[in-house]
């Protein structure tokens, strides 16, 4: 064999050997960190390894939207999971939402009628206590002024309910449900509420007609009385929703309430008097001196008392304007007035 022929054979062998080595190198390549680099269809992940619904849930989890509150537009979670409702826990419970805390004040207590099993948030204390509960949305009522709103906003996105909805529990419930992204739930709750109110109103009107009603709070500390007017957010609905007739003084009031003396009570000429203490229960020790006023001659000579039309109510739900509290007030009135 000639030298030229040998060189051609060896050149061919070398080319084949180098091609084989290159192929091996491709299949056993290593990344710079020493981990194998997966190549080819067999090693590549599927085009969509996570189910579509998982991706949608993840996207929804971080979604936000904007709502218009009392102090401007605010961006809130589209699907909040940990909600702090500052004095609007009544509405949250009605909508099937358990708040992360419950409003509490040392001198007043909390809304006991809700029977919530959640930590208390002392409204008179540090905002740090709220921060520890890690809410992803805070909903506040009219008790939050702009300065307080700014504090809440540092903890979590805060929706301060507009003043325009606070006078009507229906509007308040609707606004809260929309902020929570559950407007249909509000429609269901309101349908049941309106049916109950319509039936209760008819029964009350048949029982008391146009007889005049006064709502009075006994302030135990200074032994005074507060007459609640028709615009009071806690009790105004007994007139404009339940159909009861207010005494003239209450009907003419522009303030939520007015402090009156014991001597003024007979001048009210009320056919029915609803009364509750400002704090605690009727048998609480701190209320006993003030309660004695109701055993005095002025009270005993009132026509409402003589006719058995003075009703001692529990203060917790009577000092709340929530949708649940209102239904409890209606139950109280039906029990007391409809014989």
pLDDT digits (tens, 9 = 90+) for 267-317: 999 999 999 999 889 999 889 989 999 988 889 899 999 999 999 999 999
The pLDDT score that the predictor gives to residue 61 is 67
The pLDDT score that the predictor gives to residue 60 is 61
The pLDDT score that the predictor gives to residue 59 is 46
- Residue 98 phi/psi, 5-degree rounding, is -95, 120
Q: What percent of the chain has pLDDT over 70?
A: 82
Whether the per-residue pLDDT at 3 is higher than 60: the answer is no
The pLDDT score that the predictor gives to residue 31 is 32
pLDDT by residue (tens digit) across 42-54? Answer: 333 333 344 444 4
- Lowest average pLDDT, out of 25-34, 211-220, 240-249, 252-261, goes to 25-34
Residue appearing with tokens 């996105």: 157
Distance (Å, whole) CA 28 – CA 32:
13
Whether the per-residue pLDDT at 125 is higher than 60: the answer is yes
The pLDDT score that the predictor gives to residue 50 is 45
The structural domains of the chain, ordered by start, are: 63-181 (3.40.50.1980), 197-337 (3.40.50.1980)
pLDDT by residue (tens digit) across 218-240? Answer: 998 888 999 999 999 999 999 99
Distance (Å, whole) CA 303 – CA 326:
27
Query: What sign for the dihedral angle of Cα 312, 316, 321, 325?
Result: negative
| Integer Rg of the chain from CA | 34
Whether the per-residue pLDDT at 30 is higher than 70: the answer is no
The pLDDT score that the predictor gives to residue 273 is 97
Q: Find the angle CA(140)-CA(143)-CA(145) to the nearest 5 degrees.
A: 90
Q: Average pLDDT over the chain, rounded to whole?
A: 85
Confidence category of residue 15, pLDDT binned at 50, 70, 90 = very low
The pLDDT score that the predictor gives to residue 47 is 38
The pLDDT score that the predictor gives to residue 325 is 98
Neighbours of 38 (CB within 10 A): 10
- Lowest average pLDDT, out of 42-51, 108-117, 175-184, 191-200, goes to 42-51
């Amino acid at each position: 064999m000639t030298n030229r022929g040998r060189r051609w054979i060896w050149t061919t062998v070398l080319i084949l050997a180098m091609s084989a080595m290159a192929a091996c190198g491709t299949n056993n390549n290593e990344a710079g960190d020493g981990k194998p680099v997966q190549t080819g269809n067999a090693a590549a992940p599927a085009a969509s390894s996570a189910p579509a619904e998982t991706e949608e849930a993840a996207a929804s989890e971080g979604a936000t939207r904007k709502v218009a509150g009392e102090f401007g537009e605010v961006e809130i979670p589209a699907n909040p999971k940990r909600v702090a409702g500052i004095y609007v826990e009544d509405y949250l419970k009605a909508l099937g939402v358990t708040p992360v805390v419950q409003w509490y004040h040392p001198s007043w207590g909390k809304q006991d009628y809700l029977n919530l099993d959640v930590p208390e948030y002392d409204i008179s204390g540090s905002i740090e206590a709220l921060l520890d509960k890690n809410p992803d949305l805070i909903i506040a009522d009219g008790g939050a002024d702009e300065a307080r709103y700014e504090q809440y906003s540092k903890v979590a996105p805060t929706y301060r309910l507009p003043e325009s909805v606070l006078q009507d529990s229906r509007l308040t419930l609707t606004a809260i449900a929309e902020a929570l992204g559950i407007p249909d739930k509000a429609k269901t709750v309101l349908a049941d509420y309106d049916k109950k109110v319509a039936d209760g109103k008819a029964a009350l009107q048949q029982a008391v007609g146009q007889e005049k009603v006064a709502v009075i709070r006994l302030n135990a500390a200074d032994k005074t009385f507060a007459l609640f007017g028709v615009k009071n957010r806690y009790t105004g609905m007994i007139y404009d929703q339940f159909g009861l007739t207010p005494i003239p003084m209450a009907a003419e009031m522009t303030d939520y309430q007015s402090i009156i003396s014991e001597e003024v009570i007979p001048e009210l000429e009320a056919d029915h008097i609803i009364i509750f203490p400002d704090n605690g229960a009727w048998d609480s020790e701190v209320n006993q001196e003030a309660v004695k006023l109701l055993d005095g001659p002025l009270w005993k000579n009132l026509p409402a008392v003589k006719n058995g039309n003075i009703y001692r109510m529990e203060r917790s739900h009577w000092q709340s304007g929530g949708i649940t509290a209102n239904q409890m007030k209606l139950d109280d009135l039906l029990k007391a007035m409809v014989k």
